[in-house]
């Protein structure tokens, strides 16, 4: 299984190679990094109970953290590689699903546009595409890697030319094949899966507080 660190390194390498000719001018910043902490909520699976009814298995709200790397195209925008992770659990009326710990990681590449209208704050909009990795931590169940996109917006509050506080919100939309089994493991009785999903998407929202350093 590819680790999250390898996914992040690969994503940022692809961005760097693809946009090298468009690097920022000498009078503009060229690179930045933003470690952040936040809170993530929402997200759940519509579970097919096998008798014509459905129930839900929701992801619990909790703390998230991550890192956003930016390679500037010009003074008003940059290409980015984003990693965000959350350790949470499944919340369900089904005893087999209740309190199963699960890590939810997003590995994304995309871009951010900056709108410098005021010296006190700088609004921004970000759009990324990439992968969501969902990994149960008990029972030997398999992890799932799905296509995901995200849209973020917020404000930067500059302390000086190099350092800013970043306040933002971001929504993550993960695409899941409907009527598919997730988080499976092999047993002596055959294959066993935690969830048979009847939905096609999973949405989570995240509030972020970060510290941006530009070079």
Quote the mean pLDDT of the chain.
Answer: 85
CA-based nearest residue to 170, from 79, 78, 38: 38
Q: What is the pLDDT of residues 39-87, one digit of tens each?
A: 999 998 877 776 767 778 899 999 999 999 999 999 899 999 999 999 9
Candidates 152, 122, 149; CA nearest to 214 is 122
Which one has a higher pLDDT value, 151 or 21?
151
Structural domains of the chain sorted by starting position, each given as residue range(s) with its CATH number in brackets:
4-43+61-177+202-214 (2.40.160.20)
* Closest C-alpha to 8, from 128, 183, 162: 128
Binned at pLDDT 50, 70 and 90, residue 108 comes out as very high
CB within 8 A of 11, min separation 6: which ones?
A: 81, 107, 108, 109, 130
Question: Helical H runs in the chain?
Answer: 4-19
Is residue 170 over pLDDT 80? yes
Are the beta carbons of 142 and 148 closer than 8 angstroms? no
Residue 66 CB partners (closer than 8 Å, separation 6+): 35, 36, 38, 82, 83, 84, 85, 106
pTM attached to this predicted model: 0.84
Q: Which of 82-86, 112-116, 174-178, 196-200 has the highest average model confidence (pLDDT)? A: 82-86
Query: Which tokens go with 182?
Result: 């997730």
Per-residue model confidence (pLDDT) at position 14: 47
In the structure, what pLDDT confidence band is assigned to residue 188 with cuts at 50, 70 and 90?
Answer: low
The Cα 77–Cα 71 span in angstroms is 9
Q: Which is more confidently placed, 189 or 78?
A: 78
Beta bridge pairs of residue 191: 186
| Distances, alpha carbon 50 to alpha carbons 54, 154, 168, 175, in Å | 8, 43, 41, 22
Phi and psi dihedrals of 137, rounded to 5? Answer: -105, -5
Cα distance between residue 90 and residue 76, in whole Å: 40
Using the 8-state DSSP alphabet, how is residue 90 labeled? Answer: E
Q: Is 38 exposed, middle or buried (0-12, 13-18, 19+ CB in 10 A)?
A: buried
């Amino acid at each position: 299984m590819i680790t999250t660190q390898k996914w992040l390194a690969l994503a940022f390498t692809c961005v760097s190679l693809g946009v090298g000719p468009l690097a920022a001018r000498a009078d503009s910043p060229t690179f930045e990094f933003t470690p952040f902490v936040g809170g993530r909520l929402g997200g759940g699976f519509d579970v097919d109970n096998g008798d014509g009814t459905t129930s839900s298995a929701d992801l619990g709200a909790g703390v998230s953290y991550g890192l956003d790397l930016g390679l500037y195209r010009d003074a008003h925008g940059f290409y980015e590689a984003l990693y965000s992770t959350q350790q949470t659990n499944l919340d369900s009326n089904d005893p087999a699903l209740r309190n199963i710990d699960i890590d939810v990681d997003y590995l994304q590449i995309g871009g951010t546009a900056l709108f410098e209208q005021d010296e006190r704050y700088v609004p921004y909009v970000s759009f990324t595409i990439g992968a969501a990795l969902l990994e149960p931590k008990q029972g030997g169940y398999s992890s799932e890697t799905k296509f995901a996109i995200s849209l973020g917006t917020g404000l930067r509050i500059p302390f000086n030319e190099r350092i800013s506080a970043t306040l933002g919100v971001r929504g993550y939309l993960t695409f899941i094949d409907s009527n598919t089994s997730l988080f499976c493991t092999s047993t002596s009785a055959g294959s066993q899966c935690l969830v048979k999903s009847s939905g096609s998407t999973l949405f989570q929202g995240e509030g972020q507080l970060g510290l941006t350093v530009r070079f």
